[in-house]
Amino acid sequence: MKSTFVNRAILVLSLAAMPMFAAGATDSATTTLGVTVSAEASITVTQSPTLAKATTEFEAYVGNTTFTYKVRTAESGGSGSVTALVTTAFAVGSGITTADLSHVVTGDGIGTENGSTTTASASEATNIITFGEAAHSADSGDSATIAWTLADRPTYKTGPWSTVVTLTITSI
């Protein structure tokens, strides 16, 4: 009888030490992620020039501004642009006017560059690139170059002079 009791005790202890797989449970649920993707745009100037010229007297000063941009316009009815506006003109004492400064644009990305020579303006932004609907730049961004030309007039005062041009990108 003692042997039966010991065997039963061992059996009960063995069962108690076993994991309870039958008592476990698993469940799952799902989630739906929604997103509204909007029109967006960003711009970064990667090179600002010091205008320079060759050795010819009264030859125009030239230099290039390079920039990268990212843009996404609406799939239907979207549009956008990059514009340039002279926000700080050359100092009055320099004799240089904004009307002496012009630009032409080249690029390798989405959008239509203004490939015509355009006079810079301090009162109205000038067109650099335009975008239509469903415009999408590369994930790494697209790039363009503004080639600046500043007429060299004998009336300019000598010295270092500068102007600030603000590039603005928009997207709808």
Q: What is the pLDDT of residues 99-149, one digit of tens each?
A: 999 999 999 999 999 999 999 999 999 999 999 999 999 999 999 999 999
Single pTM value for the model:
0.83
pLDDT at residue 9, as a whole number: 47
Classify residue 23: in a domain, yes or no. Answer: no
pLDDT at residue 126, as a whole number: 98
Average pLDDT, the chain: 91
CA distance 42 to 93: 35
Percent of the chain, pLDDT > 70? Answer: 87
CA dihedral (25, 26, 27, 30) in degrees, to 10, reads: 170
Classify residue 16: in a domain, yes or no. Answer: no
- What confidence tier does 3 reach under pLDDT thresholds 50, 70, 90? low
Classify residue 157: in a domain, yes or no. Answer: yes
Output the CA angle 171-117-103, nearest 5 degrees: 65
CA distance 167 to 83: 6
Classify residue 102: in a domain, yes or no. Answer: yes
Number of domains in the chain: 1
Classify residue 83: in a domain, yes or no. Answer: yes
Residue 17 has pLDDT above 70, yes or no: no
Residue 22 has pLDDT above 90, yes or no: no
Helix (H, G, I), strand (E, B) or coil at 167: strand
Classify residue 76: in a domain, yes or no. Answer: yes
Q: What is the pLDDT of residues 82-102, one digit of tens each?
A: 999 999 999 999 999 999 999
CATH code at position 100: 2.60.40
Q: Which domain holds residue 53?
A: 40-171
Classify residue 85: in a domain, yes or no. Answer: yes
Classify residue 144: in a domain, yes or no. Answer: yes
